[in-house]
Amino acid sequence: MFTKGESSGIPWERGKVLEERQLSIRKKHQVTLQNRERLSIDGVLNVESFDDLEIALETDAGMLVVRGEGLHIKELNLDSASLNVVGHISTMEYIGDVGGKKGKGLLGKLFK
């Protein structure tokens, strides 16, 4: 029998404990842009892809694509869910829905 907080060593259970720990560490999503040259993001879950023109990342608020020129990831810390980018930032765009949730369209609101 295991006490609270103790792990049996079963892989799926360890994953669950790790996921719970990551959820407790995550911060609220926050984006700070300074002079279109320095970008700090909290709530970063994963960096999907990056090059000097585009960075695609998963955040607590959904997928975010940052575009610009000379983009460089200065710091990425997934333990603290933070990312720092330098370069010329031209656009930031959220893609898709948060957690796969879809809002009701006009027809959905009319036909409840």
Classify domain 27-98 by CATH number.
2.60.40.2000
Where in the chain are the domains?
A: 27-98
pTM: 0.66
Q: Residue 72 — very low, low, confident or very high, per pLDDT cuts 50/70/90?
A: very high
> From the centroid of its chain, how far is CA 36?
20
Give the CA dihedral 98, 102, 103, 109, nearest 10 degrees.
-170
The answer to which of 15-19, 83-87, 100-104, 105-109 has the lowest mean pLDDT is 100-104
> Does pLDDT of 100 surpass 50?
no
Percent of the chain with pLDDT over 90: 56
- C-alpha distances (whole Å) from 88 to each of 1, 72, 79, 81 are 56, 10, 26, 22
Q: Is the pLDDT of residue 31 over 80?
A: yes
Would you say 67 and 53 are in contact if contact means Cβ atoms under 8 Å apart? yes
Mean pLDDT, residues 79-85 = 95
